[in-house]
Structure 1
Amino acid sequence: MDLKSLKQFQHLASTLHFSKTSEAMFVSPPTLTRSIMRLEEECGAQLFVRNNRNVALTKAGKKLLAFAETTLANFHQLQLDIGHQKDVLSGELAIFCSVTAAQTYLPNVLDSMRAEYPSVDIKLDTGDHAIALAKITTLEANRADAAIAIHTPDFPSNIHFQAIDSVPLTLIVPAQMDVSVVEDIEWNKTDVIMPARGPSKRIVNHWFAEHNIRPRVYAQVSGNEAIVSMVALGLGIGFVPRIVLKNSTAKDKVLSISVGDIESYKLGLCYLKERANEALIQALASLFSVRS
């Protein structure tokens, strides 16, 4: 008993007219008749009472009609379920960002991703902001599909930047240092912990140049978290994003001094423009849009 024959039988049971059903089902009247006869053979009973003027369902025909309606409805639901499964996103999505960005921006986004797209596996890699863009442009196996990165004046034209936050920088000094405003700093007598690379290096160097200050560099380090740790140890002072300080375990060992004229970070979700139409990328970007 095949579904095609059941569909023809169901239609004929509603019209009780062989010509109308054969026309609607795109089969010839003889073909429809043979199909009904096969069903009668399979059921071992007559399904219709036919004469020159009327067609009517028998008791067996009414029972088969109930079976046909249930079977065809169940099959239609199965098709919908399978079609839905085809549309469900799946696969792996690799995201790179700093530890601080992961703590600040990802929890709600990843919770939503797990709820809406449970078949998507998230692979999170953390590290220095300075290598974020390299992570999404590299061809190596450990590449990222998307990254949270800082916008810069020389931002690559092949990378899409979706802004998610503007992050101010703050000057931090050891807690025991007797200063409360930036004007109290004696720069020629104070060691400075400088960023070794990345966008923060440009911003901090630009601020020093604008104020005609030649910093007495004690060390250049990679990562804002490392700057906080070194300042907490009393090895110097330095500039870090406020969100880094907020999430640092050493924040109680330093003082934050506001500097109003230093450039803020423009932080955003980044991915290659050529991948913008990929379903996983679009899903992630959409969730960040809701968040912002």
Structure 2
Amino acid sequence: MDTRSLQLYLTLAETLSFSRTAELRHISLSAVSRSLLRIEEEVGQRLLERDRRSVRLTPAGHQFRDYAQAALGDWQRIVTELRPDNAVLGGEIRVYCSVTASYSVLSPILEQFREDYPGIEILLHTGDYADAVSRVQSGADDVSVAAGPDLLPKNLRYQTLQLSPLRFVVPAFSCAVADQVRAQVGSEGTVEDWADIPFIVTERGLSRERLDTWFRGRPGKPRIYAQVAGHEAIVAMVGLGLGVGVVPDLVLDNSTYRDKLEIVPVSAALGTFPVGLCALVQRLENPLVQAFWQTAARAYAGTQITG
């Protein structure tokens, strides 16, 4: 059975870019167009709408995407069930994570996974950690490295791999922001008055929710200097002396800006930032996704959780 057309369509439905799809699937741009045209002719519906500025799925395109995901999952399951016990799993899974997580959290998982399942190809996507759960829910990716949501939807499964404390960080060198923060250090050695101190914050996500709750319990209104996508951008901007930020230890320890940052103690901590894997319960029925999930559990079994 040829499943390549369905895999290609899912990549196109995710990227909404013919050139990016061609790059990821290692085929020509014209081959992507021909494959889509064949599918549309067989279905009898237009699946994508294109103009000079954008590509978007039609209602039929969304419906066919759901079908393609289910069909590939069913195909992999039946192949696995009919395959002899000593056969090797093969196929592709899509994994999403932040840039930092790609070389910190994923490293021990991928090392073991490649050894145990050399026939499974990983299609890795990186971006803002705040998108990790929604990427899985939408079907764009099979599994993601995500911050543990305070309330987990019933259709999702989550396993915690690490707990990383959230830290307030300021420039470690003398600058207007660092001098302003140090001037507010009280007798307890912590900063209590954050009024008029510029903050670099994430646009959304767990750390932003924790910080907003923390601000509501303190007098004065916070001064938001910039809102960015992802913790890596916060670290970079704080390292340039532009403000104060809140990031997990995990990001701080793996940043090239680490020597330019200093942790500031506060009287009321923001708690820990859970880092782990997220997947749809239904997708975990796929043997490939299940293999990745179980490998992650083994890779982090018995490890010391940060914090």
Q: TM above 0.5, one fold? A: yes
User: How big is the shift at 1:282?
Assistant: 1.4
User: Where does residue 250 of structure 2 map in the other structure?
Assistant: 243
Alpha-carbon distance, 1:269 to partner: 0.7
Aligned-pair CA distance for 1:210: 2.3
Instruction: Report the equivalent of 2:164.
Output: 167
| Cα separation, partners in 2 of 1:196 and 1:267, compared to 1, 3 Å | same
State the distance in 2 between where 1:153 and 1:279 align.
Answer: 28
CA distance in 1, matches of 2:254, 2:99: 9
Work out which structure has the larger RCO, using CA pairs closer than 8 Å and 6 or more positions apart in sequence: 2
| Conserved 8 A contact 2:190-2:264 | no
Opposite residue 161 of structure 1, the aligned amino acid is Y
CA deviation after TM superposition for structure 1 residue 231, in Å: 0.8
2: distance between equivalents of 1:137 and 1:274?
11
How far the C-alpha of 1:149 sits from its partner, in A, is 0.7
Residue 222 of structure 1 pairs with residue 229 of structure 2: yes
Structure 2 residue aligned with 1:155: 152
2:225 and 2:84 map into 1 onto residues whose CA distance is 62
How far does residue 250 in structure 1 lie from its aligned partner after superposition?
1.2
- The 8 Å contact of residues 199 and 243 in structure 2, kept in 1 or not, is answered as yes
What is the aligned-residue RMSD (CA, Å)? 1.9
Residue in 1 aligned with 2:143?
Answer: 146
What is the CA-CA distance between 1:84 and the residue it aligns to? 4.6
What is the aligned counterpart of 2:198 among 191, 194, 198?
191
Give the partner amino acid of 2:233.
Answer: A
Deviation at 1:211, TM superposition (A): 2.8
Which string of whole-angstrom CA distances, capped at 9 and with x for unpartnered residues, describes residues 219-257 of structure 1? 111111111111111111011111111111111111112
Deviation of 1:258 (Å): 3.7
Q: Name the residue aligned to 1:43.
A: none
Matches of 2:288 and 2:219, distance apart in 1:
47
> What is the identity, as a one-letter code, of the residue corresponding to 2:253?
K
Q: Does 1:282 align with 2:290?
A: yes
Tell me which residue corresponds to 1:204. 211
**Which secondary structure state, in structure 2, belongs to the residue aligned with residue 217 of structure 1?**
strand
CA drift at 1:90:
0.5
2:112–2:299: 8 Å Cα contact kept in structure 1?
Answer: no
TM-superposed deviation, 1:196: 0.9
Structure-2 separation of matches of 1:283 and 1:123: 15
Tell me the alpha carbon deviations over residues 144-165 of structure 1, each in whole angstroms, 9 at most, x when there is no partner: 1100111222332211011111
Residue type of the partner of 2:147?
A: I
Name the counterpart of 2:110: 110
Higher radius of gyration, 1 or 2: 1
Aligned mate of 1:291, from 274, 278, 299: 299
Aligned letter for 1:148? V
Aligned position for 1:92: 92
2:101 maps to amino acid: A
Given that residues 199 and 245 in structure 2 are in contact (C-alpha distance below 8 angstroms), is that contact kept between their aligned partners in structure 1? yes
Q: Which residue identity does 1:83 align to in structure 2? A: P
Percent identity (aligned): 36
Structure 2: runs of 5 or more not aligned: 1-82, 301-307
In 1: Cα distance, 2:288 partner to 2:204 partner: 31
Per the TM alignment, residue 213 of structure 1 is displaced from its structure 2 partner at its CA by 4.5
2:135 match: secondary structure:
helix
In the TM superposition, residue 277 of structure 1 has moved relative to its aligned partner by 2.1
TM-score (norm 1): 0.66
